[in-house]
Structure 1
């Protein structure tokens, strides 16, 4: 018999003893992120309104114009409500061995990334981010694009602090 096989064990883990990510206190993102989402929604709705004007210019009857306007108005209200609810659902937490990111309110998704799977982290800032004073922290993993996360709406100094904490954690795991 192989001596390595003799020392092998694979005991079952008690699932009740595993740590619960639900009990973690999540940090929320900046409320400035809601302003960014609302600006983007406003631009999108402006394009829809211009499209409605084009339809009206080509002399659609009042019923068709009313239906289109009603659709645009409902979409407009829903998008702003969606932005507000989305901001409330965003959260992140860093634990000793992993980082957790949750998002979504209708379809919620929580991603837990162990630090030994993180390859690197970066900070990005678009035009609206710079104007509003927020940043996004992007965390890239060895699992590919499906397991990468981007935490939007962070204060720039908080994003740098988190990036440095992650860099420290992954460099400690490598040594």
Structure 2
């Protein structure tokens, strides 16, 4: 017995009985998010082509220009393919006690945040988000300097619904 007169217990948990996050039905983000990523990629590639043009102007030889152009075009193609694959890999799910967010197709990463760890939730929208009509949901937990989960490319109404649902879950866990 401990000093409070209660028995201490620390029983082992059967790992097979734990819920499997892999079997969760994930909701996907808006396909408009792909447009945002492609616009950002296009702007980046425009900068690269401008730099290549400046180098060509300063008399880079044919081989150097050709190699740089090939690298830029390969990067351009890879980046657009990467954007498409990334959109397919993004998903989120709200469960009874937590929220699950997955991303990545080469390196998969899944983040599970229990509601009792959530400090606050916010919605953010950048310039491209406003133009394209999408939002980002930011979920902050204790001890972090930034958001622990940022779910990009959500319809603004869905982002607001998720924010309100999480706020209700947070307030239930506090009392």
Scaled by the length of structure 1, the TM-score of the pair is 0.97
Output one character per residue of 1:99-151: Cα deviation in whole Å (capped at 9) or x when no partner. Answer: 00000111110000000000000000011000100000000001414771100
The answer on whether the counterparts of 2:138 and 2:147 sit within 8 Å (CA) in structure 1 is no
Tell me the equivalent position of 2:41: 41
Tell me the equivalent position of 2:105: 105
Q: How does 1:85-164 map to 2 (within 5 A)?
A: 85-145=85-145, 148-164=148-164
Tell me the equivalent position of 1:8: 8
Distance change >3 Å, CA 145–CA 22, structure 1 → 2: farther
The answer on whether the counterparts of 2:139 and 2:147 sit within 8 Å (CA) in structure 1 is no
Tell me the equivalent position of 2:81: 81
- Matched positions, count: 175
Distance change >3 Å, CA 104–CA 146, structure 1 → 2: farther
In structure 2, stretches of 5+ residues that fail to align are none
Scaled by the length of structure 2, the TM-score of the pair is 0.97
The answer on whether the counterparts of 2:86 and 2:105 sit within 8 Å (CA) in structure 1 is yes
The answer on whether the counterparts of 1:117 and 1:143 sit within 8 Å (CA) in structure 2 is no
In structure 1, stretches of 5+ residues that fail to align are none
Return the structure number with greater helix share.
Answer: 1
- State the secondary structure of the residue aligned to 1:12: coil
Give the whole-Å Cα distance in 1 for the aligned partners of 2:79 and 2:2: 63
The answer on whether the counterparts of 1:90 and 1:103 sit within 8 Å (CA) in structure 2 is yes
Output one character per residue of 1:58-96: Cα deviation in whole Å (capped at 9) or x when no partner. Answer: 001100000000000000000000000000000000000
RMSD, matched Cα: 1.3
Give the whole-Å Cα distance in 2 for the aligned partners of 1:8 and 1:98: 28
Give the whole-Å Cα distance in 1 for the aligned partners of 2:48 and 2:96: 47
The answer on whether the counterparts of 2:29 and 2:154 sit within 8 Å (CA) in structure 1 is yes
Kindly state the Cα deviation for residue 5 of structure 1 after the two structures are TM-superposed. Answer: 7.0
